[in-house]
Structure 1
Amino acid sequence: MEAVQEQTMTETGPLEYRPRKSRIGAWIGASVCLGGFTALSFTLGATTAGGGTVTWADQVGMIGLGVIGAGIILSFLRLGVRADAKGIEVVNVASKRYFPWQVVTAINFTDKMTWATVELADDDEMSIMAIQVSDKERAVAAIKHLRALLEQSRTS
């Protein structure tokens, strides 16, 4: 087993982090959604209970719903965080924001949180959905790295 050496504050380099378990879950969920709707489209009978007919357009529409659902689920692959000596960039499902370290007051991640948050100087905060409790040790290491970068920016 290889020993891991702690980096000093002056050696803290850039961080690029993406969650592991939610990415796996997104791929599985998208596959199940697309596969389920595709299978459902082929198991529809030729007629409905009300006497209507099921056409090929209905089947294509059902598969299209599966594609849309899978696309929504795959949007969770966007999650990420990048940080360097200048600031932090947070990429969530529907937003991407960059904050210089001067406006960041804290990086929070307690045992009661689902994901980390970045606390800003204007008393606002933004979730860092990429750093999730489900990633356990990886998430804790990412938080320590972010906090070290924040501390390094304050001392330089």
Structure 2
Amino acid sequence: MSDAPELPALPVTFRPGRTRAVLLIAGAAIFVVITAVALLLEKLGPGERLSFVFTGALLFGVLVLLARPKVVADEAGVTVVNITSRRRLAWAEILQVNLRPGDPWVFLNLSDGTSLPALGIQPGIAKQHAIRDARALRALVEAHSLGGRDGQHDEHHG
């Protein structure tokens, strides 16, 4: 099968690199500009300057949270880190990796009947990279599912 992606070496981390870089650079720039404005405005008192710096730090913190998502795969399973949550999954818990056209990120269909968004793989500004990452994660799930389940898990297809 020529479209089958090569299995990446474990552990492997998937994250939206360009989006992360944009968010972190923008956050640092916003913090620097707001702090500079606070220091340059002569009419501001110390409390007002501090509130400017605090606002800049708060905005930077929000952008750091938005840059946090990643998906880490290792021999034991997958850790999905989203904006404010982290969830550890065994390979056997992941039934399917989905990235359909128009999806904002990958969704993992789980054995408990739920779907978990994995924001660490998102098309955003690097669509082809996200598609490669989704295929690699799908291949890892399939490889570990066959090994861990002996191929006896057909009742959850679909």
Secondary structure at the aligned position of 2:21 is classed as helix
Q: Give, in whole Å, the separation in 2 of the partners of 1:79 and 1:6.
A: 23
Q: Which amino acid aligns with 1:112?
A: G
- Residue 34 (1) aligns with residue 31 (2): yes
Matched positions, count? 142
What TM-score, normalized by structure 2, do the two folds share? 0.78
2:115 corresponding residue in structure 1? 125
Greater than 4 Å deviation, 4+ residue runs: none
What TM-score, normalized by structure 1, do the two folds share? 0.79
Flag structure 2 segments of 5+ consecutive residues without an equivalent: 148-158
1:91 CA drift (Å):
1.0
Q: Which amino acid aligns with 2:98?
A: N
The equivalences for 1:101-112 within 5 A come to 101-112=91-102
1:98 CA drift (Å):
0.9
Residue pair 1:87, 1:98 contacting (<8 A) in 2 also: yes
Q: Which amino acid aligns with 1:76?
A: L
1:62 CA drift (Å):
0.9
- Of the two, which has the highest radius of gyration? 1
1:12 CA drift (Å):
5.3
Percent identity of equivalent pairs: 23
Q: Give, in whole Å, the separation in 2 of the partners of 1:97 and 1:116.
A: 15
Residue pair 1:12, 1:148 contacting (<8 A) in 2 also: no
Secondary structure at the aligned position of 2:67 is classed as helix
1:76 CA drift (Å):
2.9
Provide closer, same or farther for how the CA distance between residues 59 and 6 of structure 1 changes in structure 2, counting only shifts above 3 A. Answer: closer
- Superposed CA RMSD in Å reads 2.1
Q: Give, in whole Å, the separation in 1 of the partners of 2:41 and 2:128.
A: 46
The farther-off stretch of 93-102 and 25-34 is 25-34
